[in-house]
Amino acid sequence: MAQSTIWFITGVSRGFGRIWTEAALKRGDRVAATARDSKTLSYLVTTYGESVLPLSLDVTNRDAVFEAVKKAHQHFGRLDVVLCNAGYGYMGAVEEVVAADAHANFDTNVFGTLSVIQAALPLLRTQGSGHILTVSSIGGVIGFPTGGIYAATKFAVEGMTEALAGEVAGFGIKVTIIEPGSFKTGFRSSMKAAPAMAEYDGVRQAVLGSFKPEMSGDPTATADAILNLVDADKPPLRLLLGTGPLPMIKKLYEGRLNTWEQWAEVSNAAQGSRAV
C-alpha cells in the first residue's frame, strides 16, 4: 500500500488553501494546516481527525514559520509537499500606494514565502525529496494598472521560485509555480486598497470593467489539477489554472517579442565594439 503524502500548507483559512487542503485530506493524505486564526481550522480537525495538524501561523513572523515547519516535520516524520499559499492583494495606482502598506504586502507575499522555503529546505535536502509549490497569479506574469504592488510581489515570487528550481534540482527537490487566473475564491474580500486619487478613477474603472463575472472559474475545480501536479513524476515549473491566462500570456509575449525585434538594432548597438 502506497504511503500517504504529507503536506505543509499556509493560508488554509479559506480560498484555494482551504480547497486544496480538503482535497488532500479527502483522498487520505495528511496535512499540517496553518492559518493566522487557528479557530478557522476546527472544522478540519473535527472532520479529518489525526490526519490534520492545525497550526496557528502568521508567515510574517519568521521565527514562528521555522517553528511550525519543524513541528510539522517532527509530527509526521517527513514533508512531501510544501505549499506556500498565504498571501493577499494590495491594490492602488503606484502614485496612490502607501509605502508602509506596500512593505506589508511584500512581507506576507514574498518574505513569508521565502521564510517557509528556507525553513523547509534543510529537511527536504536531508530527505532527498520533496515538492515546493509557490502560489503566484496571472498578476505574476502581467502587470495590471492599479495592481502594481500586488503584481510586484508575485513577479518577485516567480523570479525567486524559478531560481530556486535550478538550485535544488540536484537534491531531488521539485519546484512548481502555480499561476491562477480569476476564480470565485472570495480573494477580493481579503484585498486592501490604497487611498484613491480622482486622477486614476478612469483607469480604475477601465480595469474593473475588463473583468467580467463569467471570466471567473470555479475554485473547487482546481483541486484535481493540484493533486495531479503533486502526483506527477516530472511536474512543470509553471502551471496555469483556468482558461483565461494562456490567451492573455500569448498575446503579451507576442507583443514583447515584436517590440524587442523592432528595437534590436538599438539594443545590439548598446553592446559596443570590443577592442582587439
Enumerate domains of the chain plus CATH numbers: 6-245 (3.40.50.720)
Catalytic residue numbers read: 136, 150, 154
Taking the model in full, what pTM does it have? 0.94
Instruction: Tell me how far CA of residue 149 lies from CA of 68, 101, 218, in angstroms.
Output: 28, 9, 26
Are 31 and 11 in contact by the 8 Å Cβ rule? The answer is no
Q: What is the mean pLDDT of the chain?
A: 95
The closest alpha carbon to 135, from 85, 182, 191, 185, belongs to 85
Cell of residue 82, nine digits? 510544501
pLDDT of residue 1: 46
User: What integer pLDDT is reported at residue 187 of this predicted model?
Assistant: 67
CB 31 within 8 A of CB 51: yes
Where do runs of H (alpha helix) occur along the chain? 15-26, 42-48, 62-76, 99-106, 112-127, 148-168, 201-210, 222-231, 245-262, 264-269
Residue 89's pLDDT is what? 95
**Whole-number pLDDT of residue 8:** 98
CA 87 to chain centre: 8
Pick out the chain residues at pLDDT < 70: 1-2, 186-189, 275-276
Query: How many angstroms separate the most distant Cα atoms in the chain?
Result: 75
What is the predicted pLDDT for the residue at 189? 66
In the prediction, which pLDDT does 197 show?
Answer: 97
The CA radius of gyration of the chain, in Å to the nearest whole number, is: 20
Measured CA to CA, the distance from residue 107 to residue 267 in angstroms comes to: 36
In the three-class reduction of DSSP (H, G, I as helix; E, B as strand; rest coil), residue 273 is classed as coil
Query: Residue 126: CB partners within 8 Å, gap ≥ 6?
Result: none
d(CA 64, CA 73): 14
Exposure of 78 in the CB half-sphere (CA atoms within 13 A): 15
Query: In angstroms, rounded to a whole number, what is the distance separating the alpha carbons of residues 55 and 41?
Result: 8
**Residue 150 DSSP code:** H
Task: Give the CA angle between residues 68, 73, 78 to the nearest 5°.
Answer: 150
